[in-house]
Structure 1
């Protein structure tokens, strides 16, 4: 995968962040914890020449595709440098801000989209017990201007041109997934995307919203309480395809239980209703699945 990245400096000079840049961006823009900022500064100083070259090439891939769709395919960070992908992301913050300003996007929304980095650093520490960013490539959508946080939900330009569909994503720290919150976010997106990307969308009628998530698995309705927001969210979508018959262990372990995928079932936490409900399904051999669906706007009254 690394061989597919642009060469160092191929697009523009890599503005490698120094320790002060890393600390300021993480604390002031990304909402990261002090421990994660401290460890990121230490890890920056420990990068060897090969890692620094890789960081340069990762940055070049962002700079080469500002305004592009979805996120980029990056190699996984090497074990000895679990934060390697963070530094090209931070280096690209000025590029993202310039793109946002050119599209009339307020700084408040820029800050909200960057706050996802702080969340995932916290999440990574909870799962692995150390600083790291094992999903750094996910943020190439944020930094290239494809993904935006509009209220409770994230929306990303994902499908093929000329009128890409808009992917819907759910942050773990975003608050309750109520129907009112979802409706407000979708209403915002219907206005936002034709305004910000007029070359792609003539108006709200061009927007198709898609989501792929374990949250859309209709089997959850049989295991969660009636008052749970999750089945109500899933019911908003017209599902496409049956999902992977082998089930979806990785996302459940990560997003429901906050544990690495190799954690034995008997060691998974059962601290809340969601965890206990999914665990009951696991013990009953339910093949929990990611499902892919199209948002039915009429079910939101839109």
Structure 2
């Protein structure tokens, strides 16, 4: 891209499901980009990198650093709006329905809300902006209750799966499963319907690709979950779909506070115990326990 970024139009606001409280600030940020060459250069560089990766599996491009730029909190969304026509053209060429495009891109608005709740500031920080790059390159789609990402295995998980007898290794292509917070209960029926839809989706749209397994890295795959919740729990049923692998290096106590309470900075003593899982997690912490994210996988269809 060259020149000044175009306006953030209604299509981006709708498809990104931008919260009302962010609309004015986002439009003001876009105006600032038109006036400031440094901001415009950042948006151009980010948009060019995303366009170059369109259609490619993850890992995708990293966004440029915003260090030293004033008023940069909404720059990623401005860049995403710049890339949106290219992504929609890519989706259309693949035969992705407008409904699937909209469901996938609504994550932008969810991350704007999450950034405010998690970090107490508007816009997008590097963590959540970086997550959304896969949406704007087309590497990830939401199909029903779950999201699926075409991804090349990293070194650690690739070696782990190979040692477990799965016919893949580092660099091989698999599907990564993600569990968005929105979308209703994670019931077995909803999960099965999503997996069935994904099986059809990827077989038809990427006929030359084969995915031996679907993989997941999540705090919901800690084996302690089955000890804390009834066997009939939706979350336990979801975990049972997977062969559970290693714990990731870092503990996931903060991750749990982010995703289970939406409150990473709230002291544990002030977190509400208003669900079975929340009560169980608080009890685990009171007993000195810790939580870990784990890898997991199941054979793809």
TM-score (norm 1): 0.83
Please name the residue that 1:151 is paired with: 144
- CA deviation digits over 1:198-217, x for unaligned, max 9? 2323xxxx442000000111
Using the TM superposition, give the Cα deviation of residue 196 of structure 1 relative to its aligned residue in structure 2, in angstroms: 1.0
Please name the residue that 2:38 is paired with: 50
Using the TM superposition, give the Cα deviation of residue 249 of structure 1 relative to its aligned residue in structure 2, in angstroms: 2.9
Most deviating of 49-58 and 145-154? 49-58
- C-alpha change, 1:217 and 1:162, in structure 2 (3 Å) is closer
> Could you say what secondary structure the match of 2:248 adopts?
coil
Using the TM superposition, give the Cα deviation of residue 56 of structure 1 relative to its aligned residue in structure 2, in angstroms: 1.3
- Residues 92 and 143 of structure 1 are in contact (CA less than 8 Å); yes or no, is this contact kept in structure 2? yes
Please name the residue that 1:254 is paired with: 258
- C-alpha change, 1:68 and 1:129, in structure 2 (3 Å) is same
Using the TM superposition, give the Cα deviation of residue 192 of structure 1 relative to its aligned residue in structure 2, in angstroms: 1.1
Using the TM superposition, give the Cα deviation of residue 193 of structure 1 relative to its aligned residue in structure 2, in angstroms: 0.9
- C-alpha change, 1:259 and 1:39, in structure 2 (3 Å) is same
Computed over aligned residues only, the root mean square deviation of the Cα atoms, in angstroms, reads 2.4
Aligned equivalent of 1:99, options 90, 94, 117: 90
- C-alpha change, 1:72 and 1:251, in structure 2 (3 Å) is farther
- CA deviation digits over 1:76-96, x for unaligned, max 9? 655852222111111111011
Tell me, yes or no, if structure 1 residue 195 matches structure 2 residue 193: no
Q: Distance in 1 between matches of 2:4 and 2:275?
A: 44
Q: Distance in 1 between matches of 2:242 and 2:220?
A: 11
Instruction: Write the mapping of 1:85-234 to structure 2, written as runs, cut at 5 A.
Output: 85-134=76-125, 135-160=128-153, 164-201=173-210, 206-234=211-239
Q: Distance in 2 between matches of 1:107 and 1:97?
A: 9
Q: Structure 1: give runs of 5+ residues left out of the alignment.
A: 1-11
Q: Distance in 2 between matches of 1:227 and 1:219?
A: 15
Please name the residue that 1:69 is paired with: 57
Most deviating of 171-180 and 263-272? 263-272
Please name the residue that 1:235 is paired with: 240
Greater share of strand residues, 1 or 2?
Answer: 2
TM-score (norm 2): 0.83
- C-alpha change, 1:268 and 1:72, in structure 2 (3 Å) is farther
Q: Distance in 1 between matches of 2:177 and 2:122?
A: 27
- C-alpha change, 1:162 and 1:223, in structure 2 (3 Å) is closer
Using the TM superposition, give the Cα deviation of residue 68 of structure 1 relative to its aligned residue in structure 2, in angstroms: 1.1
| Equivalenced residues, count | 278
